[in-house]
Structure 1
Amino acid sequence: MRIQELLGVDLPIIQAPMAGVQNSKLALAVSSVGALGSIPCAMLSHDALRAELSHIQSQTQAPINVNFFSHQPAEFNVERDAIWRKTLAPYFREYSIDSSIDSKALPEGPSRQPFSDTVADILEEFRPQVVSFHFGLPEKALLARVKAWGATVLSTATTLEEALWLEANGVDGIIAQGLEAGGHRGMFLSQELGLQVSTYSLLQQILARVSLPVIATGGISDAKDVSAALSLGAAAVQVGTAYLLCDETNTSTLHRQAIKSNRSHKTVITNLFSGKPARGIVNRVIQELGPISELVPEFPHAATAITAIRQAAEAQGSSDFSPLWCGQNTIGCKEISAAELTLELARGVEV
C-alpha cells in the first residue's frame, strides 16, 4: 500500500507538528492541497485539545495528524532544581527576578503531558485518522485504544534500534528523524547524542531492516530535498522548518528575525530549554552555558526557571533566552501561504 493510501492523502508530504509556533490553521492550510497537516497536542489543555479537534472537524473532512508525547514523566527534584536556579542566578539578577523564589511559584507556562486515558477519551469522540507520537509509544493498552478506532499510528525513530522497537510494538509507519531536524529529538531508547546520524544515513539504515513505510525528516526544505529522499526509498517526507515563516504560523517576531538572519546558519542541539535535546539557533544563553548541561533538570522541569527569564528578555525585545527551534537547512523558508509552500515542495512528485 502506498503511503498516500495509508494516510488518506494525495501527496507524500507531512507537515511536522511544531508546538509553540502553530495551531490548526497551519494544518488545515497544508491539508487543503492534499498533504497531511499536523497539530502538536502535548502542550494543549484538555479543553484546548477538544476545541482544536472540533474546529478541524467543522472545517475539513481531510485527515489531520494529531501528535502527542509519550515520555515517562520525571519526578520534580528539589535539589536539582535549586542547582539549576543557582546556575541561572546571574540572569535572574539581570532581569530583577527573585531567584530565591520556589520554582513552583514561578509561571509554569504550557504543560508537556504524556498521552493518557483522559486524552484518549477526548480523541475517541473525534476518531482522528492519523495519530503520531514522539519519545516512543504510550503503554500497550492506550495504543490499543487508538488502533481500535482504525487510526494509522506513526512514531519517531532517531536510530535503527528505535525503528526496530517501533516496528515490533505496533506502529504503521516510522518517521526517521535525522540529526539535521529542528526541535526536539524523538530519542527514547538512549539519550546518547553520539548515536544520532544524518537523515539520509538513518533512512537507509532503517529501510534495510524494516518492512514498514519510512518517512524521512530532517534537513528537507525544498522540492529537490523531497525528491532526493523519495528516490532513496522514503515513502514520504515530513517537513517542519520550511513552514516556520508561512502566513499561517504563530512564529514570533523574534523567532522570525532569527530565522531570516545569518544566525540561522548556526544551530546546535541543546537541552537548556526543556531538559531534552532539541535543535535550535544559537543565542546568548547557549553560548554562555554551552548547549548541553548536566545541571539541567529532567524534562520538562528545566523549562520553568528559564521561561521566567525568557519572558523578561522577550519583553525587552531580546531572544537571548528563547528556544529558537530550527533545523540546519533554512533554504526553503518563505513568507508565503502554507498551501503554496506545500505545492512547491511537491513539485515533481508523482501523485
Structure 2
Amino acid sequence: MNDIAARLHTFCSRFGLRVPILLAPMAGACPPALSIAVANAGGMGAAGVLLLQPDAIADWVAQFRAASNGSLQLNLWIPDPAPVRDAAHEAKVRAFLGDWGPAVADDAGDAPLVDFAAQCEAMLAAQPSVISSIMGLYPPDFVARMKQRGIAWFATVTTVAEARQAEAAGADVVIAQGAEAGGHRGAFVSDRAEREAVGLFALLPAVVDAVRVPVVAAGGIADGRSAAAAFLLGASAVVIGTGFLRSPEAGIAPAWADALAAARPEDTMLTRAFSGRAGRALATDYARAAAAPDAPAPAPYPVQRALTAQMRAESSAKNDITRMQAWSGQSAAYARAQPAASIVDQIWNTARLALQLR
C-alpha cells in the first residue's frame, strides 16, 4: 500500500467510510434523500443546519437514519458579531430589490436568526459522526462536549492561519476550502473573504504542511481528475457540493440545474448580494446588477439575507434563474444529471485508477 492509499484508508476506517468522498453540507440544498444516497454509496452524508430549528434538525436526522446507517456530518455557521445597521442605506437596498421582486417591507431586515445555542444542543442530541464548523471556531466548552460524546470536529478554513487556529482549538480534521467552492466562503472574518480568496491547489498543500491533523479538500472538485489531484496534494478525503446538485436526489430548481450544466468557470462570481456574506454563485442578471457601480452595496449579514428573502422565494417558485440564489462552484459543468450513488462511484473509480490505487 503506497502513502496515498494508506492515508485514504486510515481516514475512511476512522470515520466509517468505504470511499473518501464527503457531501458538502449545503444549507437549503441538502435534503435527506441526497445524504442517504451518498452515505449508502460509501461516502459521508451531510446537512447544513443553519436554517433549521432544533426540532427540524432532529427530524432531518431521523429521516436520514431511517434509510441509512452511514456516516453523517452536521454543519453550523459560527455567528458573526451583531451587524452595524444603517437605516438610510437599507432603504436604498430595499428600493433596489423592489425592482427585482416584491416590495420589501420596512422591517424586513429585522428577521431574527435561529438560536445558535439551541441548534448546538440539537446537533449534540442527534449524535452524528461529525459536527463541522464554518465562519469560525466553536467555543471550547462545546468542543469539549462534542469530544465527550465521541463526535469528531471538522473545522472549515480558508487560509493557513485559520488552519493553525483550528488545530490549536482542537479540531480533529481541517477542511481546506478553496476559492473555487460554490456557496458561502468560510472565512473566519467576513471582511477578508474576497481579499484572502486562495485557490484550492495553492491552499491545500500549504495547509497539509502546516498542520498535523488530516486535511480534507473542498472547492472545485466535481470529477475524478480533480479528486485525484487533491489526494496527490495530501488530502485525506474530498468534499463535493456543486457536483451533486444536478442529481435527482438534490431536487433543486430545474433552471438552476440547467444553468449549472452550461456554466464555465468564469460564469460564476463572488457576491454578497443574496445574504451579505461572500459566496460564489452563478453570475445571474441580479447578481451582476447588484455588483454594478450604481447599485447600493449589500447590507451586512444577516440583514441582506432577510431583505432578499421574498425575491429569493419568488424566483424559486417561478423557476426564474435571472434572480435566483443559484450557488455554484467553478467546476459546475462537471456536475452530472445522474443518481448521487453513480456520481460517487464514478468519481472514486476515476480517481483510484488515475492514482493506481487498489
The one-character-per-residue Cα deviations of 1:13-45 (angstroms, maximum 9, x if unpaired) are: 111111222211111100101111111111111
> Could you tell me which residue of structure 2 aligns to residue 324 of structure 1?
326
- Secondary structure class of the residue paired with 1:237: strand
Contact 2:261 2:334 in 1 (8 A): no
Residue pairs, 1:29-40, within 5 angstroms: 29-40=37-48
- Structure 2 match to 1:102: 107
Cα shift at 1:262? 4.3
Return closer, same or farther for 1:8/1:294 CA change in 2, 3 Å cut-off: farther
* 1:280 partner SS: strand
For 1:162-213, what per-residue CA distance to the aligned partner results, in whole angstroms no more than 9, with x for missing partners? 0000000010000000111100000004632222211010001111111110
Compute the displacement of 1:69 (Å): 1.1
The letter of the residue matching 1:23 is P
Q: Which residue of 2 aligns with 1:83?
A: 89
Q: Amino acid of the residue matched to residue 307 of structure 2?
A: A
Return the alpha-carbon distance in structure 1 between the equivalents of residues 217 and 146 of structure 2.
Answer: 23
- Relative to structure 1, the CA distance from residue 303 to residue 53 in structure 2 (aligned partners, 3 Å threshold; closer, same or farther) is same
Is 1:70 the counterpart of 2:78? The answer is yes
Give the structure 2 partner of residue 225 of structure 1. 226
Q: Counterpart amino acid of 2:258? A: Q
After TM superposition, give the deviation of residue 250 of structure 1 in Å: 2.4
Q: TM-score, normalised by structure 2?
A: 0.88
1-side partners of 2:202 and 2:60: how far apart?
A: 36
Instruction: Name the amino acid aligned to 2:335.
Output: C
Counterpart CA distance in 2 for 1:223 and 1:263 is 18
Alignment of 1:2-13 (within 5 A): 2-13=10-21
Name which of structure 1's ranges 298-307 and 315-324 shifts more when overlaid on structure 2. 315-324
Q: How big is the shift at 1:93?
A: 5.1
**C-alpha separation in 2, matches of 1:277 and 1:291:** 16
Cα separation, 2, equivalents of 1:101 and 1:70: 28
Partner of 2:3: none
Instruction: Map 1:182-193 onto structure 2 (within 5 A).
Output: 182-189=182-189, 191-192=191-192, 193=194
Measure how far apart 1:54 and its partner are.
Answer: 1.7
Cα 1:194–1:5, aligned 2, differ >3 Å: closer, same or farther? same
Cα distance between partner residues in 2 of 1:179 and 1:94 = 28
Unmatched tracts of structure 1, length 5 or more: none
User: Is 1:146 the equivalent of 2:154?
Assistant: no
Instruction: Give the equivalent residue in structure 1 for 2:208.
Output: 207
1:295-310 correspondence runs (5 A): 295-310=297-312
Would you say the 8 A contact 1:73–1:114 is kept in 2? no
Q: How many residues align?
A: 343
Q: TM-score, normalised by structure 1?
A: 0.90
User: Matches of 1:259 and 1:94 in 2, distance apart?
Assistant: 22
Deviates more, 1:273-282 or 1:287-296: 287-296
How much has 1:264 moved relative to structure 2? 6.8
Is residue 43–residue 71 contact of structure 2 (8 Å, CA) maintained in 1? no
| Backbone CA RMSD of aligned residues | 2.4
Q: Which residues in structure 2 correspond to 1:33-48 (within 5 Å)?
A: 33-48=41-56
Shift in CA distance, 120/305, structure 1 to aligned 2, threshold 3 Å: closer
Q: Give 1:23's match in structure 2, choosing from 31, 34, 44.
A: 31
Q: 1:216-268 CA deviation, whole Å, 9 max, x = no partner? A: 11111111111111011111111111101001002112211321234775101
- The offset of 1:125, in angstroms, is 3.1
Q: Secondary structure of the equivalent of 2:308?
A: helix
Please tell me whether the aligned partners of residues 12 and 35 of structure 1 are also in contact (alpha carbons under 8 angstroms): yes
For 1:336, the aligned partner's letter is Q
Deviations 1:32-72 (A, max 9, x none): 01111111111111111111112222222221111111123
Which is further off, 64-73 or 270-279?
64-73
- Determine the C-alpha separation between the residues in 2 that align with 1:112 and 1:334: 34
Report the residue type matching 1:242 in the other structure.
Answer: G
Tell whether the 8 Å contact from 1:258 to 1:264 is kept in structure 2 after alignment. no
- In structure 1, what is the Cα distance between the partners aligned to 2:109 and 2:235? 45
Partner of 2:166: 166
